[in-house]
Structure 1
Amino acid sequence: MRILNLRVGDGATVDLDVNQSLTSPITLYEGPVESMLTSNLGPLPPVTRLYGRVWTGGPQVVVRYYEAHPPDGEPFPLCAVARLAHGQMQKKPESKPGTAILEFSRAGVFVVNSFR
């Protein structure tokens, strides 16, 4: 992250699932996810793809990103998480095991030191 001058706490907005952009509600599935920046994250422009994993086991969805693919550059490692304020990453009650129904298709994405 140092190569791109990204710092812990740097943030942007992201479509959580490129296949469900601007949809409400959306369903995320346990496992790999492809997301897309909708605003700049440091030098990374909108439409940069973020690759990560979704966990749906708890009351809130956890999305962690490990790789970024800029539109005209080489992929590189990334350590970032998706977040929304006020519990908005909380699953809707009708979510089935292995899935998470969320009200919104966009979230904040923030650079972190490591995953905990």
Structure 2
Amino acid sequence: MESMLNSPLGPFPSVSRLYGRVWTGGPQAVIRYYEVQPPEREPIPICAVARLGLGQLRKKPESKPGTAILEFSSAAIYIVNAFR
């Protein structure tokens, strides 16, 4: 999965690309990022997660199995020490 920062994240400028995985099983989506690629630089390993209020990305009821329809198209990104 590929995302893009729309504001700076620490030393990473906006428009840096984030690469990771999305899990859609359960009532909310889980997004984990493993790599960030700032403009004109090599990719850098990271450990980050996407979150919305209360740390959740709740799926809309009309989400079909294997998909996640979310209310918002953006979320906060947090650098973490490890995935749980």
TM-score in terms of structure 1 length: 0.70
In structure 2, the CA distance between the partners of 1:48 and 1:87, relative to structure 1 (3 Å rule), is closer
Q: Give the structure with the larger strand fraction.
A: 1
- Per-residue CA distance 1:42-90 (angstroms, 9 max, x = gap): 1100000000000000101100000001011111101000000057610
Which runs of no fewer than 5 residues in structure 2 stay unpaired?
A: none
Q: Distance in 2 between matches of 1:54 and 1:79?
A: 14
- The aligned residue for residue 111 of structure 1 is 79
- The match for 2:26 among 58, 61, 67 is 58
Asked whether the equivalents of residues 40 and 46 of structure 1 are also in contact (C-alpha less than 8 Å), the reply is yes
Identity of aligned residues (%): 71
- Which runs of 4 or more aligned residues in structure 1 lie more than 6 Å from their structure 2 counterparts after TM superposition? none
TM-score in terms of structure 2 length: 0.95
Shift of 1:105: 0.4
Q: Distance in 2 between matches of 1:94 and 1:67?
A: 31
- The aligned residue for residue 37 of structure 2 is 69
Letter in 1 for 2:53: A
Which runs of no fewer than 5 residues in structure 1 stay unpaired?
A: 1-32
In the alignment, structure 1 residue 101 sits paired with structure 2 residue 69: yes
- Count the aligned residue pairs: 84
- The aligned residue for residue 4 of structure 2 is 36
Asked whether the equivalents of residues 81 and 111 of structure 1 are also in contact (C-alpha less than 8 Å), the reply is yes
Q: Distance in 2 between matches of 1:44 and 1:87?
A: 22
